[in-house]
């Protein structure tokens, strides 16, 4: 009997790629998504890749009664909780939406997990919980957390605190906070990928949309930072590597004899600047990108990348794909989207 894994936000960017990785490892993903940040394009792409339409419930995770009905329908082996808002810049403009949606959704998941004794839980956390790293820019899981630089970062920081307090009250659960760095790229078939509704907040979709003509010009938010070329440094992780990390997290948790709570960085361990991403794109796509230098963006951290040791030691996982692979897959996805018109 295949193990059912609840994937909230499973029609979204990281969620849909994780659904593919789960099926590849013999799990049965059950998607819950209210499509506020996803479209039928993801569902159609998933169906083409999988050869069947995955089970999906169009429900808002903040509606606990509707979520309880789903927990009554399945005997979940585990939960991967993606459903949340995730744009740093946008969260500075809309803090109340971010706190309400991201925290109520998490609280509902933990309450239902306890009510239905679903032991294995993976939380979609973020490197933003580290804030602006004080000493080294390479952060490991025990790096002292500075306060986050954005409301989005706070929803993950508080989220991890909620999970810690829950674990102290219910120590038999197997819990893992995966702290993503910057997810980028798309499935190599170009049938699923990042699908920003409206103007993209994140760098790489803005690059590819500028290149395809959907956006007029990319603005680099500052080139006067104390970094090797003046632009911010991030750890860009291919979304397929990230998806596979979630499956290995579930495989780790289901093996545990007793309760546990672990935080794990999911990054490549390498930092790349904004300008370097642009240059990789120009090389991969063999075309010039139209960009300008603009003012810094509120909430931005200057430089951060992962110490990726623990993910390898604990989960036997490490990133296999390069920034070139991610940029190429992101560009192929943009080109495929353009054909859909
Ligand atoms: C990256 C860099 C911008 C757009 C992301 C996710 C968040 C979390 C952490 C997982 C910054 C610059 C961007 C543009 C630019 N990941 N930029 N022009 O802010 O690091 O946060 O990673 O939880 O969910 O949002 O990502 O792609 O917005 O920015 O110059 O048009 O690119 O200033 O330096 P960020 P981002």
Cβ–ligand 1 contact at 304 (below 6 Å)? no
Contact of 184 with 204, CB cutoff 8 Å: yes
Q: Kindly report, residue by residue over 318-340, the tens digit of the pLDDT.
A: 999 999 999 999 999 999 999 88
Contact of 195 with 36, CB cutoff 8 Å: no
Cβ–ligand 1 contact at 203 (below 6 Å)? yes
Contact of 47 with 40, CB cutoff 8 Å: no
Q: How confident is the model at residue 64 (pLDDT cuts 50, 70, 90)?
A: very high
C-alpha of residue 35 to centroid of ligand 1, in Å: 22
HSE, side-chain direction, 13 A CA sphere, residue 323: 23
Residues of the chain with pLDDT > 70, as a percent, come to 99
Average pLDDT, stretch 222-246? 97
C-alpha of residue 149 to centroid of ligand 1, in Å: 12
From 89, 124, 128, 137, the mutation candidate for ligand 1 (largest count of ligand atoms within 8 A of CB) is 128
Counting beta carbons within 10 angstroms of the beta carbon of residue 31, is it exposed (0 to 12), middle (13 to 18) or buried (19 or more)? Answer: buried
- Nearest-atom index, ligand 1, CA of 87: 25
Lowest mean pLDDT: which of 45-49, 133-137, 188-192, 307-311? 133-137
- What lies within 8 Å, CB to CB, of 274 at 6+ separation is 203, 220, 221, 223, 231, 232, 234
Q: How confident is the model at residue 146 (pLDDT cuts 50, 70, 90)?
A: confident
HSE, side-chain direction, 13 A CA sphere, residue 270: 14
Residue of 85, 152, 225, 305 with catalytic role:
152
Q: Kindly report, residue by residue over 261-279, the tens digit of the pLDDT.
A: 999 999 999 999 999 999 9
**Has residue 128 got a pLDDT over 70?**
yes
Nearest-10 crossing angle of helices 203-212, 274-285: 40
Distances (CA, A) of 166 to 69, 106, 335: 23, 11, 45
C-alpha of residue 232 to centroid of ligand 1, in Å: 9
Cβ–ligand 1 contact at 219 (below 6 Å)? yes
Within 10 angstroms of residue 257's Cβ, the number of other Cβ atoms is 6
From 202, 268, 298, the mutation candidate for ligand 1 (largest count of ligand atoms within 8 A of CB) is 202
* Phi, psi dihedrals of residue 46, rounded to the nearest 5°: -60, -45
Residues of the chain with pLDDT > 90, as a percent, come to 85
Looking at residue 11, its pLDDT comes to: 96
Q: Is the pTM of this model over 0.75?
A: yes
Residue 236 annotated in active site: no
CATH number for the region 4-185+236-267 comes to 3.40.50.720
Cβ–ligand 1 contact at 221 (below 6 Å)? yes
From 154, 205, 234, 294, the mutation candidate for ligand 1 (largest count of ligand atoms within 8 A of CB) is 234
Count of H-run helices and E-run strands, the chain? 11, 15
C-alpha of residue 333 to centroid of ligand 1, in Å: 19
Average pLDDT, the chain: 95
Cβ–ligand 1 contact at 273 (below 6 Å)? no
* Better-scored residue on pLDDT, 201 or 158: 158
* Residue owning the nearest CA to atom 25 of ligand 1: 87
């Amino acid at each position: 009997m295949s193990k059912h894994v609840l994937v909230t936000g499973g029609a979204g960017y990281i969620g849909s790629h994780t659904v593919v990785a789960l099926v590849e490892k013999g799990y049965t993903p059950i998607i819950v998504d209210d499509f506020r940040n996803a479209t039928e394009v993801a569902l159609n792409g998933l169906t083409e890749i999988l050869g069947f339409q995955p089970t999906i419930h169009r429900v808002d995770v903040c509606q606990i009664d509707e979520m309880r009905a789903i927990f009554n329908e399945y005997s979940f082996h585990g939960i991967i909780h993606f459903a949340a808002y995730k744009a740093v810049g946008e969260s500075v403009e809309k803090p109340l939406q971010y706190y309400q949606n991201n925290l109520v959704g998490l609280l509902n998941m933990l309450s239902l997990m306890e009510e239905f004794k679903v032991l294995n839980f993976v939380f979609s956390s973020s490197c933003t919980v580290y804030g602006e790293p004080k000493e080294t820019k390479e952060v490991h899981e025990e790096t002292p957390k500075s306060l986050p630089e954005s409301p989005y970062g706070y929803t993950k920081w508080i989220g991890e605190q909620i999970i810690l307090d829950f674990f102290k009250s219910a120590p038999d659960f197997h819990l893992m906070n995966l702290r993503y760095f910057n997810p980028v790229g798309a499935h190599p078939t170009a049938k699923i990928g990042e699908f920003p509704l409206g103007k993209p907040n994140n760098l790489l979709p803005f690059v590819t949309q500028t290149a395809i003509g959907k956006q007029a010009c990319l603005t680099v938010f500052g080139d006067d930072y104390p970094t090797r070329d003046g632009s911010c440094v991030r750890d860009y992780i291919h979304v397929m590597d990230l998806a596979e990390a979630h499956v290995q997290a579930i495989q780790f948790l289901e093996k545990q004899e007793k309760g546990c709570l672990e935080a794990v960085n999911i990054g490549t361990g390498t930092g790349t600047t904004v300008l370097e991403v642009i240059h990789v794109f120009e090389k991969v796509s063999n075309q010039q990108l139209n960009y300008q230098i603009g003012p810094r963006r509120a909430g931005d951290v200057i430089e951060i990348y992962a110490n990726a040791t623990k993910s390898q030691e604990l989960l036997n996982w490490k990133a296999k794909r390069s920034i070139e692979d991610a940029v190429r897959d992101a560009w192929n996805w943009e080109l495929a989207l353009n054909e859909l018109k």
